[in-house]
Amino acid sequence: MAQKIILAPVGPLTNIALALMLEPRIVERAAGVVLMGGAATVNGNANPAAEANIWHDPHAADLVFTAG
């Protein structure tokens, strides 16, 4: 089996979500995703409840977070 990778996006998750839609098997090659994406106990930087990388493309974030 090929080595797994850790994805470290530095912005909204749009590109990763598009890649998942084009090739869902990439989930098998990813060991994980490390990102800035939230603030549980303080205000976010896009609004009081959201961090910008999630706020700018919440649909992509949902696809990535639920991809397995």
pLDDT at 62: 96
* Number of domain units in the chain: 1
Decide if pLDDT at 31 tops 90: yes
**Predicted TM-score (pTM) of this structure:** 0.83
pLDDT digits (tens, 9 = 90+) for 34-68: 988 777 788 888 888 788 999 999 999 999 999 98
Amino acid code (one letter) for 35: L
pLDDT at 44: 81
Q: Which domain holds residue 45?
A: 5-65
